[in-house]
Amino acid sequence: MTSNDPSVGLPTRRKCGAMEVHRRLLTESESYRIARSEIENQTIELESTGAAAARGLARIPVVVHVVAHTQEQNISDAQIQSQIEVLNRDFRAANADMSTVPAVFADLVGDAQLEFFLATADPLGRPSNGITRTSTNVAAFDQGDGVKFVESGGATAWPAERYLNIWVCQLSDGLLGYAQFPGGPVATDGVVITHTGFGTVGTAAAPFDLGRTTTHEIGHYLNLFHIWGDDGTGCRGSDEVDDTPNQAGSNGGIPTFPRVTCNNGPNGDLFMDYMDYTDDAGMVMFTKGQVARMTACLDGARRQLWTERHEPEPGLPRVEAPAGQAPATGTSASAIGQPTVVTSRSGRMDVFVTGADGAVHHKWWDGSGWRPSQDGWESLGRPEPAPRTAWHPGDGEVAAAPSDMSAAT
Ligand SMILES: [Zn+2]
């Protein structure tokens, strides 16, 4: 692979895969169709009651999964931090380039009241910097979700109810990123961003080096559609937001105000909105209506994401003796070995630990809670070797030694 490979060349025009993923899931999955219908109904209900408006600041825990085929793609912690900082300006309407919004649109600007932070604990409650690193032999990923599974060269999602999963990798064919709307499978929930469109330093490359691809994709993740309504270039599509002007198709580059389509003059398209397709420097705002829609999502489908965060995190298997097993000493930690975790494509997570009695004990996360119970374990007897795992929290994910990285071709 070289930088001249057209499949991994730098994007010159924004291209997002979220709607393709949305349509694929609508086609494939009845449960997604049902969930989407329920979420839209719930959105209308929450927006109309205005109950969500009093929420105040919500803090969203983020895990960034860096999946790298080359050393360059193994982006720095600083590049990741630069992206978090962009999000914390854009979702507070605190970005300096907000000043470029034409005066006629100034009243539309909304503050989403969101703050993002790298998770400080992994799914088992261990200290973490909120970053996982995985070496892959996949030269470039597409919107088919391969980056989200170990068996296809990617990295496993952390429980999507409690973390915003962001995968950063090389995407192919100029794709900048894609997101999964709320209501989809937990194992693939989150956003994927090509490394050259992520953050503001390191490998971030113009004209997508201001971190706006991630802002845009998190907009989808919080249930926003593209501002033109995703009907090609017609004037009938809707983004389900009342205060965004009707607009024909997507705008690219950095348009000149006003840009009139669909008889939306004199002010024209709100092309400086994050949910259009302009260059990073051209998108600077969400509207109040978009904020209301995101807020409804955060009070509905994604409520657990910001309401159930504690230290140590709740719902985690505690390192203590299973029921009926007396700890060997006064400290429960000595009764049990290190947990082993196995994740599966369906989003299920199995945890195995060895008790003081030498038996293996098991509990599992089924997507909504721990089984057999929050604190309970089932005994698998002894001796029973713990299955080896696709993923060990806290030990750096799949081996990512620099020698492996440089040897990859
Ligand atoms: Zn998009």
Average confidence (pLDDT) over 61-66: 98
Q: Is residue 354 part of a domain?
A: no
Domain CATH code at residue 205: 3.40.390.10
Q: Are 19 and 237 a contacting pair, CB within 8 Å? A: no
Residues 6 or more apart whose CB falls under 8 angstroms from that of 274 comprise 90, 212, 215, 216, 219, 283, 284, 285, 286
Q: Is residue 274 part of a domain?
A: yes
* pLDDT surpasses 70 at 19: yes
Q: Give CA–CA dist 204/277, Å, rounded.
A: 18
What's this model's pTM, rounded to 2 decimal places? 0.77
The parent domain of residue 178 ranges over 17-305
Q: Is residue 203 part of a domain?
A: yes
Q: Any idea which residues carry the catalytic annotation?
A: 217
* pLDDT surpasses 50 at 237: yes
- CA 227 / ligand 1 centre spacing (Å): 9
Q: Is residue 353 part of a domain?
A: no
Q: Is residue 355 part of a domain?
A: no
- CA 275 / ligand 1 centre spacing (Å): 6
Over residues 121-139, the pLDDT tens digits come to 999 999 999 999 999 999 9
In this predicted structure, what is the pLDDT of residue 9? Answer: 83
Q: Is residue 347 part of a domain?
A: no
- CA 41 / ligand 1 centre spacing (Å): 22
Instruction: Identify the band that residue 399 occupies on the pLDDT scale cut at 50, 70 and 90.
Output: very low
Total domains, the chain: 1
CA-nearest of 279, 342, 351, 273 to 315 is 351
- CA 375 / ligand 1 centre spacing (Å): 41
Q: Is residue 191 part of a domain?
A: yes
Over residues 193-223, the pLDDT tens digits come to 999 999 999 999 999 999 999 999 999 999 9
Q: Is residue 373 part of a domain?
A: no
